[in-house]
Amino acid sequence: MKASTQIYLAAALLHRERGIDAELEVGEVVARAEREGWGGVQPQTLRAHASTHCLATARPSPAHLRMLTRTNRGRVRLFRQGDHFHAGRADGPTEPALEDVPVELRPLVDWVRRASASPAESDPLMALARRARQSGIWKGINPDRYVRKLREGWK
């Protein structure tokens, strides 16, 4: 099995356990791929794929895959429509080709598609709110108090 396929499937398994928005450490994605025992790929190759080759925002070198995206906290998660990516990866695949995925793991790819296709993801305002929530930018701020303060000078 290709290294990129192993990284995608390992991340998908972790997302299925923790939720589709879970932020994952590169090391835990690599460890999960190794633990699954799909074989044929060296650990350093898996790490290179998880940290660079599959990363949508990285400069293509040489791969142009868009399977993972880096979060604001420096972790990764599976790439979704609407995520930022390097222009050189615009035509890169966001998931492995089904023929590269073992038959018993294909339902996992379907699960990722369903879990990623929520209405909140297609709504740009909801996506912005999710990113703000993930970044912690509004932590400790009461929204009602904030809006009242903004409106104080209105006539």
Q: How confident is the model at residue 155 (pLDDT cuts 50, 70, 90)?
A: confident
User: Any idea where the domains of the chain sit in the sequence?
Assistant: 3-117, 118-155
Q: What pLDDT sits at residue 89?
A: 92
C-beta atoms surrounding 88 within 10 Å:
12
Instruction: Give residue-wise pLDDT tens across range 48-102.
Output: 999 999 999 999 988 899 999 998 888 999 998 888 899 999 999 999 999 999 9
- In b/e form, how buried is each residue of 33-58, taking b as 16+ CB within 10 angstroms? bbeeebeebeeebbbbbbbbbbbbeb
The pLDDT, as a whole number, for residue 73 is 82
Please state whether beta strands 68-70 and 76-78 pair in parallel, antiparallel, or not at all (unpaired): antiparallel
pTM: 0.75
Given a cut of 80, whether residue 103 has pLDDT beyond it is yes
Q: At what angle do helices 3-18 and 106-116 cross, to 10 degrees?
A: 60
* Average pLDDT, rounded, for the chain: 88
